[in-house]
């Protein structure tokens, strides 16, 4: 992976991490278009820069992270389901990360759900923010498990889970942001450990590319969060849904036309 390729993928990550359109799916598509081979460093890079993007949440919402110890307990409860599923099915998830067709199908299915979600949860729009219970937090955590499938979108799954709880868009989006911090921190640490266990030179020889990628992703994600909150409160999810459907259908059409989008070793 060249520095330019790393920057492009980091920009894609920063834009898409908090939008309900699947950051992992977009990075997989970007890798395919850029001709980046999915070696051990690239696989680690695409996970670790997601934590780089997540740091933007710490800067934007730093006061919320000092509100109470109960806040952290609830985030941990929400984090548990995906952590368990990730440990149990890690190898299968890694295999799916290389399959563009799975990403395309997930984008389309998730897109249709987002398109109809504004109608399904119309009554939530005017609701005041509600107290987050442990039951609510765990419920959103179950929805996060669905996002282990590439193309689903962690933010989309958790936001929908929040609205099923009866939360308004703002509360659902913010809890999704907060939950991303422990989730992506754990994923980044595990992926780093897995790579170092194979050959620590994979990280040490390319640390500067990783650092640049994290910095770019964090800056772009900061802007993306502000844009997302504005669109969600004023327009809802439909625009993101239609984008997903069109993108997924385009990818499937290109694959059926035998355009070389598949990622191969």
> pLDDT per residue over 50-85, tens digit each?
888 989 999 999 888 888 899 999 999 999 999 999
Q: How confident is the model at residue 29 (pLDDT cuts 50, 70, 90)?
A: confident
* Burial class, 37, CB count within 10 angstroms (exposed 0-12 / middle 13-18 / buried 19+): exposed
Helix (H), strand (E) counts: the chain: 12, 0
Alpha helices in 89-133 (DSSP H): 90-96, 100-120
Q: What is the pLDDT of residues 33-53, one digit of tens each?
A: 898 887 888 888 988 898 889
In a domain, 261, yes or no: no
Residue 146 has pLDDT above 90, yes or no: yes
- Tell me the whole-structure pTM to 2 decimals: 0.84
Q: How confident is the model at residue 262 (pLDDT cuts 50, 70, 90)?
A: low
In a domain, 78, yes or no: yes
Measure the CA–CA gap between 26 and 153, rounded to whole angstroms: 10
What is the per-residue burial (b if ≥16 Cβ within 10 Å, else e) of 140-160? bbbbbbbbbbbbbbbbbbbbb
In a domain, 239, yes or no: yes
pLDDT value of position 117: 93
pLDDT value of position 96: 74
Q: What is the chain's alpha carbon radius of gyration, rounded to the nearest angstrom?
A: 18
Q: What's the Cα-to-Cα distance from 12 to each of 3, 178, 244, rounded to whole Å?
A: 14, 21, 15
In a domain, 227, yes or no: yes
Q: What is the mean pLDDT of the chain?
A: 88
The residue assigned the tokens 């695409």 is 46
In a domain, 25, yes or no: yes
Measure the CA–CA gap between 117 and 7, rounded to whole angstroms: 34
In a domain, 265, yes or no: no
Residue 263 has pLDDT above 50, yes or no: no
Residue 197 has pLDDT above 50, yes or no: yes
In a domain, 189, yes or no: yes
Residue 104 has pLDDT above 50, yes or no: yes
Which range marks the domain in which residue 30 is found? Answer: 3-256
- To the nearest 10°, report the CA torsion of 93, 212, 265, 91: -20
In a domain, 206, yes or no: yes
Neighbours of 126 (CB within 10 A): 7
Give the number of domains in the chain: 1
């Amino acid at each position: 992976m060249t520095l330019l390729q790393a920057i492009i993928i980091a920009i894609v990550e920063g834009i898409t991490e908090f939008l309900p359109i699947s950051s992992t799916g977009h990075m997989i598509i970007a890798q395919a278009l850029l001709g980046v081979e999915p070696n051990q460093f690239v696989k680690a890079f695409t996970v670790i820069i997601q934590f780089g993007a997540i740091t933007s949440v710490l800067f934007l919402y730093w006061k919320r992270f000092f509100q109470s110890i109960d806040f952290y307990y609830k985030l941990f409860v929400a984090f548990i389901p995906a952590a368990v599923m990730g440990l149990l099915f890690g190898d299968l998830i890694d295999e799916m990360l290389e399959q563009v067709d799975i990403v395309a199908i997930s984008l389309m299915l998730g897109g249709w759900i987002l398109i109809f979600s504004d109608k399904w949860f119309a009554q939530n729009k005017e609701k005041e923010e509600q107290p987050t219970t442990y039951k609510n937090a765990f419920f959103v955590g179950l929805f996060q498990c669905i996002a282990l499938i590439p193309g689903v979108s962690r933010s989309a799954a958790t936001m929908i889970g929040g609205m099923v709880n009866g939360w308004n868009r703002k509360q659902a989006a913010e809890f999704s942001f907060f939950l991303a911090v422990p989730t992506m921190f754990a994923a980044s640490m595990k992926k780093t450990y897995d790579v170092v266990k194979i050959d620590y030179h994979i990280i040490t020889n390319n640390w500067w590319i990783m650092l640049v990628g994290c910095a770019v992703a964090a800056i772009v994600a900061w802007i993306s969060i502000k844009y997302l909150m504005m669109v969600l409160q004023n327009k809802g999810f439909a625009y993101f849904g239609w984008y997903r459907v069109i993108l997924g259908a385009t990818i499937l059409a290109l694959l059926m036309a035998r355009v070389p989008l598949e990622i191969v070793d």
